[in-house]
Each structure stands twice: as C-alpha cells, then as structure tokens.
Amino acid sequence: MKSFWQSFWRKVDWREVVPGALSVFGFLLLWEGMIRIFKVPPWILPAPSAVVQALISDRQTLLAHSQVTLVEAVSGFSLSIVLSIVIATIIDRLPLLRATFYPLFVISQTVPIIAVAPLVVVWFGYGTLPKILVVLLVTFFPLTVSLAEGYRSVDQQKVRLLKTMGARPWHIFIYARWPSALPQFFSGLKIAATYSVMGAVIGEWLGARAGLGIYLVRTAKSFLTDRLFAAIAVIVVLSLVLFAIVEGVQRVSLRWLRV
C-alpha cells in the first residue's frame, strides 16, 4: 500500500494541480468577500468561514452520516464493477446479445434517476439495499459501455498473431482484449466513482434513516444553510477521494500492464 501511494504521488502533475487549487482558493476568497461586503443573511447564503465552522461544530454528526453514505456508495460501486465486467464481456462475445440489449442500456439512461429512485424505495424499503441499488443504476451504464467499447478497440493484428501461435479464446482475452480495454474502462470507473456518491445521496434524499442525503433534507427544512453547505462539501470530498483512488489504481495498473 505504501509503494502504491508513493507511485501515485510521484506521477501527480503538480503543474495541473496547483493552478486548479489556486483557482478554488481564489473563488472562496471572492465568495467570502462578497458575503461580507453585501451583508448577505447566512440563511440565504453562508460565507465559507461559516461553512467551516459548521463542519467543525457538527463534525460528529457529519462523520456518522458520511460513513453510512460511503458504505452505500462503495457497495453499489463495487457491485456495479462486477456486474458490468460480466455483462460487457458477455455482449462482447455474443454480438446478438449486444444488438439486443445495447439499445436498452441507452434507453435506460433517458429515464431520470430521480424518477426511478422512489420506486426502488417503495419496493425495497428505507434500508441500505435500495440505496445500493440506486448507486448500481447510476454507475452501471458508464462502466458497461466503456468496457464494451474498450473490448472493440483491441488491435486485430495482435489477435491474429495470438491465433497463429495457437492461443485459445481465453488467452486472447487475457493478453489482448482485457489490456486494450483497461484505459477506457478506467475512464468509465472515474466517472462512475463520482456518480456513486451522488446516487447514494439521491437514494437517501427520498427516504432514509441516516446518511448525508437525509442530513441535507433536515438542514434544508430547518434553514440551516451553513450545515447544508457543509454536507455538500463533505459529498464533494468523498467523490474526490473515490476519484483519486481510481486514478491511483489506474496509474499503477496501466504501468504494470504496459498498456
């Protein structure tokens, strides 16, 4: 694990990170200044300093809700990875299934998740399972499509070479199709990682006993805008952490596979 993070930090391009961090810091300073100059009421729009104070004062509650949301997001995301690998591999090997189900995958993305999530809550209740299923619905499409397209991008000359060497289909999959699909699959993973937290929050928003989604509902109804923004900040941080983990795994994996 230590070597993983060492490799990750060595490969970080600080020329890209620093300007972005400075722009965010500048935006927060401008936000703070505008609130103080125009004396905006905190229940309408709190200053960043008030949000930080809310993060500190309500840290125990936020931590408890964050743990629930993170478990739901990671569970749904992990299940989505396994399912997408299975489905994408099957439709890649069976063109008829691809022609049959691929349009259904696309059509499913035209239905707003906010319209589907209430049905999931009605069917499965207010526990953890419906939130995991919502995360699965949100993340399944980008993962499956990216992996399926990655399989199709395989170098056919490499495939023909392996066949002339007597390679079996599973040899071709391991040494040609899977490595060529990894770059696109990781692109889908990074998108799905950020979607996973959003999906968990949406599921909680519509009905839950704990989690950042229900925390957002309660603070919004109570006009505790500073705590609402604090929860949003936590959601952003969780999404960025999952994104960074996927990014780190990508750097190590693609270097190891020499893709």
Per-residue CA distances from 64 to 70, 105, 173, 187, 238 (Å): 10, 35, 43, 31, 14
Q: Quickly list DSSP for 181-225.
A: HHHHHHHHHHHHHHHHHHHHHHHHHHS-SSSHHHHHHHHHHTT-H
Q: Which amino acid is at 93?
A: R
> By the 8 A CB rule, do 141 and 105 touch?
yes
Residue 7: count other Cβ atoms within 10 Å of its Cβ. 13
Cα–Cα nearest to 84, from 150, 169, 153: 150
What's the confidence (pLDDT) of residue 259?
Answer: 41
Domain ranges of the chain: 13-43, 46-257
Count Cβ neighbours within 10 Å for each residue of 55-64 and write b for 16 or more, e otherwise: beebeeebee
Burial level of 53, CB count in 10 A (0-12/13-18/19+)? middle
What per-residue confidence (pLDDT) applies to 6? 57
Cα 29 to Cα 6: distance, rounded to the nearest angstrom: 32
- Tokens 């125009």: give the residue: 38
Residue 7 is predicted with a pLDDT of 55
- Which residue stretches of 39-112 are H helix? 48-57, 59-93, 95-108
pTM of this structure: 0.85
Q: What's the CATH code, domain 46-257?
A: 1.10.3720.10
What is the 8-class DSSP label of residue 45? S
Q: What is the pLDDT of residue 3?
A: 57
pLDDT given at position 93: 84
The H-or-E segment that residue 37 falls in is: helix 14-38
Radius of gyration of the chain (CA): 22
pLDDT along the chain (259 residues), means of 10: 55 65 88 91 91 94 96 96 93 83 78 81 85 92 90 82 81 85 92 93 86 93 93 95 91 66
**pLDDT at residue 9 in the model:** 55
- On whether the CB atoms of residues 147 and 182 are closer than 8 A, the answer is no
- pLDDT, position 13: 58
Angle at which helix 225-257 crosses helix 212-221, to 10 degrees, equals 160
Asked if 28 and 20 touch (Cβ cutoff 8 Å), the reply is no
